[in-house]
C-alpha cells in the first residue's frame, strides 16, 4: 500500500514581502508537517492551509477525493496574496526524507 503526503506548493506571490517565493513548499505526512532542510515558509499562508489539511487527513474514498482536483488556497494577506496548490504525492518520492540512506 502506497503512503501519500500532501505537498503545499506556492504558485503565486503578488507582492513578496516575506521570504516565501514561487516554488516553495512543505509536506504534510499524516499529522506531521515537514519542511525541506533549510527552508522557510510564511506562517500566515501556512495557517490558511491548516483547516483544509485537517479535512484531507480523513479517507473519503476515490469518488470523494477532492484533493485530486488540486485545490488552491490563498493566504489571508491581501497585499502579498500567496496562492498555494495542494498536491498528493507518494511519500517515497519525497527526496529529502531519503537523502543519506544507504
* pLDDT attached to residue 10: 95
Cβ atoms of residues 13 and 81 within 8 Å: yes
* pLDDT attached to residue 101: 46
Q: What are the residue ranges spanned by the domains of the chain? A: 4-98
Is-above-0.85 flag for pTM?
A: no
Q: Give 45-96 pLDDT, tens digit per residue.
A: 999 998 887 666 555 556 656 666 667 888 888 788 899 998 888 777 676 6
Nearest C-alpha neighbor of 26 from the set 84, 65, 67: 84
CA distance 21 to 26: 12
SS (H, E, C) 16-82: CCCCCCCCCEEEEECCEEECCCCCCCCHHHHHHHHHHHHHHCCCCCHHHCHHHHCCEEECCCCCCCE
Q: Place 102 in a pLDDT band, splitting at 50, 70 and 90.
A: very low
Amino acid at each position: 500500500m502506497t503512503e501519500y503526503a500532501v505537498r503545499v506548493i506556492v504558485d503565486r506571490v503578488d507582492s513578496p514581502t516575506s521570504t516565501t517565493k514561487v516554488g516553495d513548499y512543505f509536506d504534510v505526512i499524516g499529522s506531521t508537517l515537514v519542511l525541506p532542510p533549510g527552508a522557510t515558509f510564511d506562517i500566515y499562508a501556512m495557517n490558511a492551509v491548516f483547516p483544509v489539511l485537517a479535512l484531507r487527513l480523513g479517507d473519503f474514498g476515490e469518488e470523494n477525493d477532492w484533493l485530486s482536483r488540486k485545490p488552491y488556497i490563498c493566504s489571508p494577506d491581501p497585499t502579498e496574496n500567496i496562492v498555494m496548490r495542494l498536491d498528493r504525492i507518494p511519500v517515497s518520492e519525497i527526496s529529502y526524507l531519503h537523502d543519506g540512506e544507504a
